[in-house]
Structure formats: C-alpha cells, structure tokens
Structure 1
Amino acid sequence: MQGQAVPRVPTPRRYLMCPPRFFAVDYAINPWMDPSQPVSAKVALAQWTELRDTYRRLGHTVEEIEPQPGLPDMVFAANSGTVVDGRVLGARFRAPQRAAEAEHFRRWFTEHGYRDLTMPEKINEAEGDFAWTGRVLLAGTGFRTDPAAHAEAQEVLGVPVVSLRLVDPRYYHLDTALFVLTEATDAAPAQVAYYPEAFSPGSQQVLRRLFPDAVVATSADAECFGLNGVSDGRNVVLPLEARRTGLGETLSRCGYEPVYLDVSELRKAGGGPKCCTMEIRK
C-alpha cells in the first residue's frame, strides 16, 4: 500500500562525506562495476559536489573526511560507520580492496571527539546494510554484512535489530533496495520505500508487517538506484532517472518533495546518493 499525502516536516541532519578525488573503477566487487569502461574522477567530483551542496542548501550540516590515494571507493562514506544517539559502530569490509577505509573513518571519529566508538569483530558494512528507522535498526545480509554482525550491532548500539535477507546480487547492500523516508516518532510510525524482489520471501513478509504504508518500488526504480535515496522527512534526494521511472511521482503523492541529481558517474562503481552519505545521529 502506498502512503497517503500528509504534511511532511523536514528535520536538519548531519552528514559525513568524502570527496571522490581518487575515484576510479579499478576492480569489480559488485555487478555494477566494469573496469573496462572509462570513468572520470572529474565528473564524479562534480556530481558529488552538487550532492553535498544540495544537502547544505536544504539546511543540513555536511562534514568532510580527507580522501586517500589507493582507496577509490572511499567516496561511499555510508559503508564506514553507523551512528545512533552518538554511539559509533565502525566498519569491517568483506572486500580486501576496501579494508583500509575503516581505519581512516575510525581516526576521523576519534579526532572529532567521539569516545563511544567500537570497531566490529564481524564483517559489517555499516549504513550500507544498516538503516535506522527511529525505533529499530533494519539490518541486511546475504552478500556483504555477516548475519552475526546484526547481534553485534544490537549490543554496541543498544537498539533492537531486525534482520533482512537480500537475494539479488545487483542489490548487494540494504541501501540499494530500501531507504527510510520518515523516522518513527511518538506520533507516527516510520515509513520506508523498498523493492520487494530484492529480499527473501520471509523478509518480504517482515517488511509488510512492519511497514504496511511503505512505498513499494518497481524494478525500474531499483535499477537506477532509486532506492539509494536520502530523505530528511520531506525532501528526498534521488538519482535523476527516478523522475522517469515514476518513483519521484509516487513520493510526491505521499507528500514528499523529490530532489533529482545526476549521479551517473558514481553509479559506475555501484553507488548513489545514500552510498555517499553517512548520517551522524547524536
């Protein structure tokens, strides 16, 4: 069932991002990456800059971490930390090509005064597979994050965790198949958008039970990384193609304001708006 059009209220957010100055596709660790195809770090940086500036224009705070040579995927900051109520759970990557990113983000948090910080023992690709709904942490598994990391996240962050199994390798992280439109409050439940076919049958049932008012996306929405969106409760940043697929129109009918951006170069590495955006929740 699609959501009803109700007044939507944006809330200021704080994000951590990493400029893609060393962006490249030198290896393939997901189905979207093709090292034989040309990519442009200049174009990727321009698209990233527009994303960052859009957040600031919408009233959000954006902090930046310094990119490092030899880590072309460091731009995808969402994969390197999960922050809820000021508690930080770092990342541990499955792919060796990205492993060093976790330490750079750990240092950033330490240098910026975060004392309640834990580095995981289990493989955990952070907000790539963790989505905070305001009440529970949705946790993906199947391709990257270990199932055991879900229990670890619950212990470290002190919030209830709901496990969801991903079954389509194109949607290897939870944030490629689901995103939170509105977090739960005392007055209203959370609302999400998701692509059902990316999940196992049991996980689909869980999502229907938890979010009967969800925005249910199509295969076309998912294929353009439309589910890799970022919402502040009213404004929803989406890939430009989501206008064509109809996802943006659906969200408009639900009272949201779509904001379309070109992220086509970043998508060559399997990323979109959310992949580039770690949310810091104090």
Structure 2
Amino acid sequence: MTTASTQVVLSLTERMPTTRRYLMCEPRHFTVEYVINPWMDPTTPVSTELAVAQWTAMKETYESLGHTVETIEPVDGLPDMVFSANSGTVIDGRVLGARFRAPQRSAEADLYRRWFLDAGYRDVTMPSRVNEAEGDLAWTGQILLAGTGYRTDPAAHAEAQEALGVPVVSLQLVDPRYYHLDVALVVLTEATPTRQAHIAYYPEAFSPGTQRVLARLFPDAILATDADAACLGLNAVSDGRNVVIAQESTHLIAELRAHGYTPHPVDISELRKSGGGPKCCTMELRG
C-alpha cells in the first residue's frame, strides 16, 4: 500500500529539471511613469537601482541552475522593456513576435524582432492582431494556453496556431489585476510522451467556463490562493523541478515543495510596482 509519505518521495523523484535558454533585458531605465495596469502608480517612488539588483539576482539564480541567459540591450524611454516575456513566443525555433495594446510599449516589439534576426532566427512572424506574447501564451509541451480578456486579442490565438504550428486553447481572464495569463497561471512541468503537463493557477482569475476547461485538462493542478496571486506568486519560472518565485508567496511555495519541486524565492518588490515578476522578465527560447 502506498502511504502519503511514499507518494511525496515518488513525486520528488519524478521532478526532472531541463536546461533552458532565456532572453532577459536589464531594467537600466526602469520606472513607473504611466498606468497601463492596476499595479502601476506613478506617484509611488521607484528605485531603478533596486530594480536592477533584483533583476541581477534573478538572472544569477537561473545561471546557478545551469540555464543560459541571453540579453537584449535596454533602450532609454522604454521602462517596461525589462518584461521580455511580452515580446516574443518561441517554440521549436519558430518565433511569433508581439503587437502591444498600449502605445507606450509599441516600440519594444520591433527591437525584439531585430534581436531575433541578429541572433540567427529566420522563421520570425509578426502578428497583425494585438498579441502580448508569453504574457498571454503559455506552452505546456502539447498545447499552447492562450489568455484573452484585457490585452491579447482573441483573434491572435488563431494567428499563434498558424505561426507556431501548435494547438491552441483559449482561456478567458476576468479579473483586471490579472490582466495577463502569466500572472494567473504557470506551467510547472511540460508534457512529454510519457508525462502529463503540470500547472498551478488561480481559479478566480478565469471565467466559469474557463475554470471548467482547466479542471478538465489539468485535474492535478495546484490551486493558488488569493494571497498567492496578489503578490504575483504565479508569475514564476519553472524548469520542471526548480521554480523561481516571488518570496511572499508562502502558500504556493509550500505547495510546490509538497509536490516535489524546489522553490527559489526571490525579491521582486520593485519590479512588482509595474506589475511584473520573474516570468514577465524571462522569455524562454525553445529550440
């Protein structure tokens, strides 16, 4: 008979990390000077120096775990360029760029497009519809979960399927605090031919129908609490075992440990003032 402790041990042995390659942008010009999400308040003091320190600690955490981190040069006047995940989705070497809803961020899309071309990517597609990339697109290894409701246009989901050649499942976001999919859901383990994908998410961020879809697709998902979501705990990055996560997300961190993951809590207090955390700062370069 399998006991609860045996199940935990089995779970621990099943969590296998895979080496990843990420694209990041130093927040050298980070500030909060406009409002495009509920987290942003230009009247709140912001320390660019502290933001750089927090970003650097995050980058060093990835590197200590064996991952490769590429960087793009930040541009003055684009304070949100640090959130690289919003500017591209890469699967099997195919790149789908971004088209931002907010005009303050529109210039970022072409800067990242040029980075991909300079880095040798040749299959680069720019969307015609608003598409905020990995902010609203999460690859599970089998399907692309695609958020909509506040930023990414629903029609961009069909463009993503065509450009990336992977099946897409649309998910409806309903809470303006969780305006992107990546602040409401994280893929912890990608699917393989012998293993199902594993995710964590905050149910109340999604419409009732979407909640039913997620429960059907991921019956063993970790369900985050209000407190987990409110500190951007779901804006995390996982390599299949190691999870870089906001340090305040104590409930989710405990759940991750119980499910065999190794959390790596980081301080994102300054970056969070613009509505971002580890995932926002980290675009994965797959293939």
The reply to whether TM is greater than 0.5 is yes
Aligned residues: 277
Q: CA RMSD in A?
A: 0.6
Question: Which amino acid counterpart does residue 120 of structure 2 have in structure 1?
Answer: G
Matching residue of 1:160: 167
Question: Which amino acid counterpart does residue 257 of structure 2 have in structure 1?
Answer: S
Q: Distance in 2 between matches of 1:114 and 1:188?
A: 30
Question: Which amino acid counterpart does residue 162 of structure 1 have in structure 2?
Answer: V
* 1:265 matches 2:247: no
Map residues 213-224 of structure 1 onto 2, 5 A cutoff: 213-224=220-231
Matching residue of 1:105: 112
Q: Distance in 2 between matches of 1:109 and 1:159?
A: 20
Matching residue of 1:74: 81
* 1:247 matches 2:255: no
After superposition, give the CA deviation of every residue in 1:206-257 in whole Å (9 maximum; x if it has no partner): 00000001000001000010000100000001001012xx110111000000
Map residues 25-174 of structure 1 onto 2, 5 A cutoff: 25-174=32-181
Question: Which amino acid counterpart does residue 107 of structure 2 have in structure 1?
Answer: A
Question: Which amino acid counterpart does residue 116 of structure 1 have in structure 2?
Answer: D
After superposition, give the CA deviation of every residue in 1:9-53 in whole Å (9 maximum; x if it has no partner): 100000000000000000010000000010010000000000000
User: What displacement does 1:70 show?
Assistant: 0.3
Matching residue of 1:197: 204
Matching residue of 1:23: 30
Question: Which amino acid counterpart does residue 149 of structure 2 have in structure 1?
Answer: G
Q: Distance in 1 between matches of 2:254 and 2:232?
A: 16
Q: Distance in 2 between matches of 1:47 and 1:253?
A: 27
Matching residue of 2:20: 13
Question: Which amino acid counterpart does residue 269 of structure 2 have in structure 1?
Answer: S
Q: Distance in 1 between matches of 2:224 and 2:272?
A: 19
SS at match of 1:100: helix
Q: Distance in 1 between matches of 2:196 and 2:51?
A: 36
Matching residue of 1:275: 280
SS at match of 1:264: coil
Gapped regions of structure 1 (runs ≥ 5):
none
After superposition, give the CA deviation of every residue in 1:110-146 in whole Å (9 maximum; x if it has no partner): 0010000000000000000000000000000000000
Query: Percent of counterpart pairs with the same letter?
Result: 71
Question: Which amino acid counterpart does residue 69 of structure 1 have in structure 2?
Answer: D
Q: Distance in 1 between matches of 2:286 and 2:204?
A: 30
Q: Distance in 2 between matches of 1:213 and 1:148?
A: 30
Gapped regions of structure 2 (runs ≥ 5):
1-6
Runs of 4+ in 1 over 2 A off after TM superposition: none
Question: Which amino acid counterpart does residue 283 of structure 2 have in structure 1?
Answer: M
Match of 2:214 among 207, 212, 216: 207
Q: TM-score, normalised by structure 1?
A: 0.98
Question: Which amino acid counterpart does residue 113 of structure 1 have in structure 2?
Answer: G
Q: Distance in 2 between matches of 1:26 and 1:181?
A: 33
After superposition, give the CA deviation of every residue in 1:235-280 in whole Å (9 maximum; x if it has no partner): 001001012xx11011100000010000000000000000000000
Question: Which amino acid counterpart does residue 42 of structure 2 have in structure 1?
Answer: P
